[in-house]
Structure 1
Amino acid sequence: MPATDRSVTEALHKRRSVRAFTGQPVDPALLKEIFAAAQRAPSGGNLQPWQVTVLTGEPWQAVKDEVAARIAMGREGQQPEYDIYPRELTEPWTDRRFGVGEALYASLGIPREDKRGRLARFMDNYRGFDAPVMLFLHCSRIMGPPQWSDMGMWLQSVMLLLVEHGLASCPQECWAMYGETVRRTLGLDDGQILFTGLAIGYADEGAAVNRWPVPRAPLGEVIDWQGF
């Protein structure tokens, strides 16, 4: 399949966390091409700490089934690999997190008081939003924050390359809430730690959940210019 968005700028503006996918399968040869290109992502000391498991079909369904069983156990079933958000998150980050969540549910027409409706929609996370492919990104537990940063650069490279080829994705750290179950189902030993999932497929362009605007902080909030 030919690339559709050749400009990095175009890919950056078009990329978003897609939460509704079509049932169209993804060509594994295309994924191999994308992953081969993503290997050019930088890493300190050229460690390339990222390790990846890519699933579709029955193996992907097995992960969903195993995690669903843990979810049914309530809080006792959770197996967090790490704190996804800081426990003492403050402004402006709390406002950004709250704001994007409210905008998401507003796009679905689910008001704040509809707790059941919001929970049902949240559970779509653990179905990968019906994406046909799930990528799990993990690494050796000996790796530290710099190597986790390297994994993020690899992941961003993959997401932009997916856009370039007409595909969509949604990074999902929520899978790390059931890290032990995911790792066991993938056949990974305890020497590995699960970082995130990445749902991959073709976006349902007509779905409202894929069309609401996602704001970004203005440059004045994040960049301090000195000496210019």
Structure 2
Amino acid sequence: MDAAVVIDALIRGRQTKRGFLDQAVPLDTVREILSVAKYAPSSSNTQPWRCYIVVGKARDRIADAAVEAYRADPENLVPEYPFFPERLHEPYAERFNAFRGQLGDAQGVHRSDKVGRRRDVERQFRFFDAPIGIIFTMDRRLERASFICYGCFLQNIMLAARARGLDTCPQQIWSLQFPVLREHLGIPETEMVIAGMSLGYADDSLPENNMQLRKLELEEFVSVVEA
């Protein structure tokens, strides 16, 4: 099969999944995925990524601690870096709100349902029941440009997983839990928690795992300059 067809299908077929089957994933498969992902481009080959794979009892222990921390003070968890501007402006606010509404409808949780929304956040901190959780960190002395490199690395992981019949959910929200992660994973102060990721076999019986998101048309984001 033509390589472009295969790669295009992988890119289009990758979807964020928010629920996973109780089906084990061999650690050798995870290592294989990361061994491929490491070929992501990085500025002057600096390779800023650091990964912590959590499985079994360790995954459960971290999930329990994260949920406990969230329940204790849900409004005051502060991430290692800002996710969005304090006031998200257009057109991004419209896209954000449309997505949150679509996700809430799929999950049966209205935006005004605080209990349901908090339950959904707790599911995130349980890696959506995926058997594999990965926490990603970066040396905090690096500059923001290294986030570009990190994005390439994370995309490689997700595509390599999809090629093996696995699914993922990249989870920026884990940056809120850096105190818990430092305690349980021994992450040094010199490392910034960038994100987490759930990895496993998706439960596609869930409506939220079958959402079709609107993607921009080329004319909405592409400018061609010919002269």
TM-score (normalizing by structure 2): 0.93
* Contact 1:57-1:132 at 8 Å conserved across structures: yes
Which range moves more in the overlay, 77-86 or 50-59? 77-86
Distance 2:117 2:69 in 1: 20
Where 1:178 maps in the other structure, the secondary structure is helix
* Alignment correspondent of 1:3: none
Q: Which residue of 1 aligns with 2:164?
A: 165
Partner residue of 2:54? 55
Q: Percent same amino acid at aligned positions?
A: 27
Q: Check 1:77–1:67 CA distance in 2 against 1; reply closer, same or farther (3 A cut).
A: farther
Which stretch of the first structure deviates more once superposed, 112-121 or 145-154? 112-121
| 2-structure distance, mates of 1:98, 1:77 | 22
Unaligned runs of 5+ in 2: none
CA-to-aligned-CA distance 1:164-204 (integer Å, 9 cap, x gap) = 00000000011111212212211111000000001000001
Do the aligned residues in 2 keep the contact of 1:171 with 1:199 (CA within 8 Å)? yes
Counterpart-to-counterpart distance in 1, 2:81 and 2:90: 21
Question: What root-mean-square deviation, in Å, do the aligned CA atoms of Structure 1 and Structure 2 show?
Answer: 1.7
Give the deviation of 1:207 after TM superposition: 1.3
* Superposed displacement of residue 76, structure 1: 6.8
Distance change in 2, residues 1:185/1:9 (3 Å): same
Correspondences of 1:75-90 after superposition (within 5 Å): 75=74, 78-90=77-89
Matches within 5 A, 1:31-180: 31-75=30-74, 78-180=77-179
User: Tell me, what secondary structure is at the counterpart of 1:7?
Assistant: helix
> Larger deviation: 81-90 or 39-48?
81-90
Separation in structure 2 between the aligned mates of residue 144 and residue 206 of structure 1, nearest angstrom:
41
Q: 2:199 aligns to what? A: 200
Give the 3-state SS of the residue equivalent to 1:83 in structure 2. Answer: coil
Residue by residue over 1:62-99, the C-alpha shift from the partner in whole angstroms, topping out at 9 and shown as x without a partner, is: 21122122112214752421111122320111111111
Aligned position for 2:184: 185
Q: Conserved in 2, the CA contact under 8 Å of 1:183 and 1:194?
A: no
Compute the displacement of 1:60 (Å): 0.9
Out of 114-123 and 10-19, give the one that drifted further: 114-123
* 1:37-62 Cα shifts (integer Å, max 9, x gaps): 11111001101110111110111112
Task: List, as ranges, runs of 4+ consecutive aligned residues in structure 1 with deviation greater than 6 Å.
Answer: none
3-state DSSP class of the match of 2:100?
helix
Distance (Å, rounded) in 1 between the aligned partners of 2:28 and 2:21 = 19
CA distance in 2, matches of 1:114, 1:107: 14
Determine if the alignment matches structure 1 residue 24 to structure 2 residue 18.
no
Contact map agreement 1:11 1:164 (CA 8 A) in 2: yes
Given that 1:70 and 1:77 are in contact with CA atoms closer than 8 Å, whether structure 2 keeps it comes out as no
